[in-house]
Amino acid sequence: MTDRPPSLRTARLILRPLTRGDVDDLVALDTDPEVRRYVEDGEPVDPSHAAAMIEHWNLLAQRHPGYGFWAAVDRRAGRFLGWFHLRPGEGDDELAPELGYRLRRAVWGQGYATEGSRALIDHAFGTLGVHSVYAETMVVNRGSRRVMERVGMRLQRIFHAEWPVRIPGDEHGDVTYAISRDEWRYQRDRPVNLLATTLLAAGAAGPHRPAIVTPEGRTVTYGELIARSAQVANTLTDRGLVPGERVAVHTAAKTPDLLALHLACIRAGMVYVPLNSAYTDTEVTDLTDDAGAALVIAGHPSTARPTVSLDELGRLADRAADTFTDVARRPDDPASILYTSGTTGRPKGAVMSHANLAFSAANLAASWGFVPSDRLLHILPLFHTHGLFVAVHLTLTVGASMVLLDRFDPAVVLRHLPVCTVMMGVPTHYTRMLTEPGFDAGACAHMRLFTSGSAPMLASTHHEFTARTNRHIVERYGMTETCMLTSNPLLGPHKPGTVGPPLPSVEVRIDAPNGETGSIEVRGPNVFAGYWGRPELRHTEFSADGWFITGDLGRFDEDGYVEIVGRSKDLIISGGLNVYPKEVELVLDALDGVHESAVVGVPDADLGEAVVAVVVAEAGATIDPTGIRTEARRRLAGFKVPKWIVVADALPRNAMGKVEKARLRADLASDDQRP
């Protein structure tokens, strides 16, 4: 078997769902003499039939991930090149167990293979790192056969008894082949850095294209971003850091250099550990110690570990070489650790692998129709899954650009909307945008996609937004441990109050009878393998058969859309940020005069949920709510500090002595309980 040539290591084409808008391109392609020469079916494409079939298959794909028509689009020019029809196969676990995740094998059903098959090969082998693709039968034309031979696929002509003795079209090399799984297998000629390839291949193919636009109007091209990441990678290795070591980052900066640092860690094989910029020095020390960070990037030293500021790192990088050979990593090697506090109060570091993040970026980019001409209005923090692994990674994967705002300001957002096409936010962002008088259909005329997540959105917000802008908000569902799991479809019914069906190749199940509420459990290529240094949690956070237990409660509606109805782990999501009650309670309970406390979230029109604490005083002590909040602020990030304190004689408990938080939430939700 021949080695796969370097020219196919970088995907030249991207995949996206085929839409009704592609029908004209299909008709034009069908009349191309070079295409017609290799199409056995003599009937030309009928536009109305093509549109109906596309709609039918896209609806089917919502219920059965992997089915559907897909378009091949040139990365550089955005030009429509062809199409093919895919369906999922069986035996996913056997195809590439070394990747550490489940794969859908691609089976050609039909299509213009000249460009379509090349797109699939580039996407599957180059972007997702699939080790093998299996086809039972396929029609091979001259173009697709040449591509398969280049990637080392050995074809064997097999005549079956029920097939005609002579296969039509062999004067052009067009014959029907049956290809066995063993025969159709690609082995890499050398290890690769899957995530670096996924994020930088498109940019490397168009180095002069804009990657980042700063609020001041400065443009950073892909060539400049890749070169800067090389300088930072060289600087890190020159300091003696080696692959696998952790680099913790604690900064409020949203700059091109911060993204270059993130990419540098990926390219050098180091593990990127972003920390919430609101964390206190005590929290930073605890988390960097837990991660065993070899280097901390922070504005000032808050730990005994080696620390350097982002500015100082930048000055060192200025003197480094601007080329770097990416360090090979296995797909299941850690790429990042994101900390999410547990209900016990002890932080847990979710380990995301190169394969987790590469799959998530490519999968979501296809599902949301990202193309190089997109421009993202980036308003999210870069220490969070939403802002980094979704917003940034999707943009880089397709070679699009982003306007990198340093913070969310409705007036500034309104000013940038006319030059952008995509915005990702949390419900709080959208409720605040709706207070802007100029936020209307005219301001959003150039926007093609608004998404929301990290917290539930009220149906009333959906309706008001659509009425004002003539646009829909695509609500989706994800977690730190999984990236994105489900999404309302880009094309098709948007259902307020739901987070859509599972994304392709992502599996979601409800631990309850069909249609009833139960625990949401998930598995797929995007799901992490476990928590840093906490192997014992594998037995409590995963089911016996390997599904991750999200801690959320939900159900499927009649169309397979997921409705989230509650959280079994008492998680509070305030302004899109996670607050775990136990962590706050431990701080409050340690304060002088406090006997015990209970922390809950109550509905809030601005934040989604507000953090509220019910506090019981020790015998003979007097509680000062203002003093409690002041002391808590010294120990906790601002978003975790209770927005108000309720002093009570006792906490409500059930017969087993457990605090009845549901009762507290109901009582506190009434207006007469608010300060």
CATH number at residue 84: 3.40.630.30
Please state the rounded mean pLDDT for residues 42-58. Answer: 53
Q: Could you give the C-alpha distances from 61 to 266, 392, 527, 558, 595, in angstroms and in order?
A: 33, 26, 21, 15, 55
Q: Domain for residue 493, yes or no?
A: yes
Listing DSSP states for 420-452 in one string gives: -SEEEE-HHHHHHHTT-TT-STTTTTT--EEEE
- For 92, left (φ over 0), alpha (ψ -120 to 50), or beta? alpha
Query: Is the same domain home to 201 and 179?
Result: no
pLDDT on residue 209: 94
Q: Domain for residue 617, yes or no?
A: yes
- For 253, left (φ over 0), alpha (ψ -120 to 50), or beta? beta
Angle, alpha carbons 407-413-414 (nearest 5°): 160
More confident residue, 655 or 171: 655
**508, 486, 525: which is closest to 129 by C-alpha?**
525
Query: Is the same domain home to 556 and 580?
Result: no
Q: Domain for residue 1, yes or no?
A: no
Query: Is the same domain home to 40 and 169?
Result: yes
Query: Is the same domain home to 354 and 480?
Result: yes
What does the pLDDT look like over 486-500, one tens digit per residue?
999 887 788 888 999
Domain span at residue 58 reads: 6-190
More confident residue, 33 or 373: 373
Among the three residues 565, 582, 616, which one is the final residue of a domain in this structure? 565
Identify the weakest region by mean pLDDT among 49-63, 267-281, 388-402.
49-63
**278, 469, 490, 536: which is closest to 394 by C-alpha?**
490
Query: Is the same domain home to 375 and 466?
Result: yes
Query: Is the same domain home to 185 and 201?
Result: no
Residue 555, beta-bridge partner list: 563
- Which ranges in 590-671 belong to alpha helices (H)? 625-635, 661-669
Which amino acid makes up residue 28?
A
Q: CA–CA separation, 388 vs 229, rounded Å?
A: 16
C-alpha 282, offset from chain centre: 30
Q: Computed from CA positions of residues 235, 238, 239, 240, in that sequence, does the dihedral angle turn out positive or negative?
A: positive
Among the three residues 532, 565, 598, which one is the final residue of a domain in this structure? 565
Among the three residues 145, 173, 190, which one is the final residue of a domain in this structure? 190
pLDDT at 88 over 50: no
Q: Which of 32-41, 161-170, 384-393, 423-432 has the highest mean pLDDT?
A: 384-393
Count of residues in the chain: 675
Query: Is the same domain home to 549 and 505?
Result: yes
Task: Look up residue 257 and give its two tokens.
Answer: 């250099």
What does the pLDDT look like over 595-647, one tens digit per residue?
889 999 998 888 889 999 999 998 889 999 999 999 999 999 999 999 999 99
Q: Output the domain CATH number for residue 357.
A: 3.40.50.12780
Query: Is the same domain home to 25 and 72?
Result: yes
pLDDT on residue 345: 57
Query: Is the same domain home to 503 and 398?
Result: yes
Q: Output the domain CATH number for residue 597.
A: 3.30.300.30
Q: How many domains in the chain?
A: 3
Which amino acid makes up residue 15?
L
